[in-house]
Amino acid sequence: MDLFLRFNSKNVQDRQMDTLIGMCKGLMADGVLVQAEAEFLQAWLVQNSFNENPIIKNLLDKVTSMLSDGVLDATESAELFQLLKQLTGESSELGELAKTSNLPVNTPQPNLIFENHVFLFTGTCAFGTRRQCEDAILKLGGRLAGGVTKSLDYLVLGSYVTDSWAHESFGRKIEKAMAYREDGIPLAIVTEEHWINQAGL
């Protein structure tokens, strides 16, 4: 009986993922995600979270966080679109932590100094929305950059950045940071996991 239940649970999860991927492709078809679409997605995720599918639970947490203030702003919409793009491309990547062996992070990753140092996030973060990550930096006395410049101290790679980063839209930021670093600019590229550990979050 237990074997049957496990097998049946796997079939349910497979059907859920097929449905979710198809639905996400439909939501992304016009190239933008509006609030009504995010709310529709959230409702579906709530209805299908009963069997603890980790991918569905992870995505539900992200969407719920983005909608917690009742507004899906442009930044959150872009983040969610990127996340759904990853899901519909290679679902196994959803929830993977950044692969430090394949990403151009500093080795070893440095001790982070927050006070008066400049941070920039790229990719989608597991910690929360971009706004929540930036608020955490400000509370620690850090400053925020609008882009990759010579004054940037740390480029933080969100946990949903995978080893296919060079083909993603955020790859340009990483490439620019790598170029500055190679030119001797003291710019460090670190993982979100390292940032969270260093910040004590």
Q: pLDDT tens, position by position, for the chain (201 residues)?
A: 343 334 344 555 667 777 888 888 888 888 888 999 999 999 988 888 776 667 788 888 889 999 999 999 988 888 888 888 877 764 434 444 434 346 789 999 999 999 999 999 987 787 888 888 999 999 999 999 999 999 999 999 887 655 445 545 557 788 899 999 999 999 999 988 899 999 987
**Continuous H helices in 29-129:** 35-47, 54-66, 74-89
Instruction: Taking each helix axis as running N to C, give the angle between helix 2-28 and helix 35-47, from 0 to 180 degrees, rounded to the nearest 10.
Output: 170
The DSSP bridge partners found for residue 157 are: 122, 191
* Domain layout of the chain by residue ranges: 2-93, 118-199
Q: How far is CA 37 from CA 40, 54, 97, 107, 164, in A?
A: 5, 22, 27, 41, 27
CA 135 to chain centre: 16
**Continuous H helices in the chain:** 2-28, 35-47, 54-66, 74-89, 130-139, 171-182, 192-199
118-199 falls under which CATH superfamily? BRCT domain (3.40.50.10190)
Angstrom distance (rounded) from CA 124 to CA 36: 21
Q: What is the pTM of this model?
A: 0.55
Owner of token pair 């882009």: 147
